[in-house]
A and B are shown apart, each in its own frame.
Chain A
């Protein structure tokens, strides 16, 4: 019995959760049911494609996604020709060629996503001094992840009475300090969906958050699939070893 008690303490020590989740203050984040939640959750390919469409047509005007290449879009269900066509919509400088000249060419699937700005200075100049963050890891770089992003995109509400907003700033319910340089990026019907999904801010925000979760954690499905196998294997192995240990110890303590 005492052994059991001590084992329980040991197990409890293992289970002490992280205590360092950063303080989000009094900001309440929405709690959306995502298809990628939980140990068996997966991405919804249709939502990812819609989310990419929103990123491409809205966000990418200001936000880069440096860590993604067009080839990565195959995970969203696009085929090679579609990816080639998507990439070819953009161009980049390449070279030097055989004559030592730099030249502009259409992008290829192996190229990384086009950055809307040539450099940070240009990005800040175009945005009132604020730097639009890179979107590649944004869901992992914020407490709350996709819920935070959805909350931010749908959080452009009327500021409470007496809340002072300086010029070039906007009120946002979820942003730390409630002041954000980005104007509300989404409005109803700005992106035309082809699959009949509602063209509302709420739906856009869900889809693009879904897409950006994938962008930050593209190996999640592989990871969870492997995790299930690993846990099952360890459980079975631990079960066997428990029996082995019991049998070996059976002749001791008598």
Chain B
């Protein structure tokens, strides 16, 4: 962040500011001439897209907060008032509600890209871990945001998820009481969730800042997974990637707008248009779609884990499910340290690539399982999915470390790009 060898700026006002606080020099260095591998594909758009979605959520969210009433008796009505009587209120709310979904879509694709091209590997381990932290914060924020309209799914979703913490031995019940602010999900719960829902996005902004900072230290990975070897391998960020990102962003926004304006409730649950009623439990309590894979993992553990041939239960089913669910995120944190294979990109990893694609299919299947009632063949299917989810990290990755062949990598990015274009010509 230091000014280093600062070049004098022509504009006297900019120069006055820059000599005291080198913001222009920094922007020029980090977003103007920042050397970026020249072989990005469109998967590299999703970081910028996620950033735009974060800003969209904060802007619409602050405007919504001006009209929302965080009280169990008034929350539902105040949301309806926003929809009916506040100027442009329906637009704000639908942008915000669908924005959450599209933020997750962008981030899921962003995470997939990181896994596919090995962006988590040395020297980008911390960059990846900060990303997982952002993902975790997003999940907490989204969960608490979904509670705020105080509909049936808000209330019962909050009840189910907060109750999970009661599975923790010794302190579980105290934690749940603390989360609720009482002895059931009620007005104090709504109030603290609202306060935290307003706070956490700004924490996310802070961690995003660290995430981007770390990125600008190591530089971006690229589809070949080999480091740039010189100027012939890179392009200045502006205008090449500013323009490419803008195009990709607009394509993404078209889909986002299509949902917001033409099927704004397609990703939500009809039950959330019924005011919360502590006396009526919905037939199927389901979280928002972006949590469904983790919800399936939670429900996949239907058995107590104990010492065989005795009645001693070490981990009751509920705790097992909770551990599995949190474990499925925690394992992402340590992913860079599990995978020690020297090659980054899946393009040059004949074994990792199909295993990862199967992993993606597994997560999608788990998502479907999470949306279904926990009965019939959905239960063994969830269990199968859960087993592969963890086996991918704990069995296959260590196995690949030892046995997966190391293919020959192209000598440089430029070389590979030239060769590809020769072929295409």
Q: A-side interface residues toward B, CB under 8 Å?
A: 1-3, 6-7, 10, 13-23, 39, 66-67, 72, 133, 136-137, 140-143, 176, 216, 218-219, 222-224, 226-228, 230-231, 234-235, 237-238, 241-242, 244-245, 248-249, 252-254
Contact = CB atoms under 8 A, between A and B. Distances in A.
Interface stretch (B19-27, B121-129, B247-255): B247-255
A3 B261 contact: no
Given A18-B289, A238-B250, A253-B417, A67 B239 contact: no
A218 B261 CA distance: 14
A23 B80 CA distance: 26
> Main SS of the interface on chain A?
helix
Contact of B261 (A23, A226, A242): A226
Interface residues of B, number: 58
A22 B244 contact: no
A10 B417 CA distance: 22
For the residues of B in contact with A, the DSSP-based class is: helix
Contacts of A18: 266-267, 289
Contacts of B246: 241, 245
Given A10-B46, A253-B417, 19 more contacts: A14-B109, A15-B255, A19-B368, A20-B286, A22-B269, A22-B271, A66-B77, A133-B274, A137-B80, A137-B273, A137-B274, A140-B265, A141-B273, A141-B274, A176-B283, A223-B91, A238-B250, A245-B244, A252-B240
Contacts of A23: 284, 372-373
B91 A226 contact: yes
B230 to A, nearest CB: 15
B235 A252 contact: yes
Given A20-B269, A22-B269, A231 B254 contact: yes
A155 B421 CA distance: 64
A184 B286 CA distance: 32
Contacts of B254: 231, 234-235, 238
Given A245-B243, A249-B240, A16 B364 contact: yes
B238 to A, nearest CB: 10
Given A14-B252, A231-B257, A253-B421, A22 B284 contact: yes
Contact of A22 (B251, B252, B270): B270
Contacts of B270: 22, 140-143
Contacts of A16: 364
Contacts of A235: 254
B105 interface: yes
Interface in B224-249: 235, 239-240, 243-244, 246-247
Given A22-B283, A234-B253, A252-B235, A6 B273 contact: no
Interface in B382-425: 417, 421, 424
A244 B257 contact: no
B336 to A, nearest CB: 23
19 contacts: A1-B424, A3-B41, A3-B42, A14-B255, A20-B269, A20-B289, A20-B371, A23-B372, A23-B373, A67-B84, A224-B261, A231-B257, A231-B258, A235-B254, A237-B250, A238-B250, A241-B246, A242-B247, A252-B38
Interface string B8-51: 00000000000000000000000000000010011100100000
Contacts of B188: none
A244 B273 CA distance: 44
Contact of A19 (B108, B255, B367): B367
A175 to B, nearest CB: 13
Contacts of A66: 77
Contact of A234 (B91, B235, B257, B266): B257
A223 B243 contact: no
A224 B94 CA distance: 12
B257 A219 contact: no
A241 B80 CA distance: 38
B60 to A, nearest CB: 15
B262 to A, nearest CB: 5
Given A6-B43, A19-B292, A230 B421 contact: no
Contacts of A1: 424
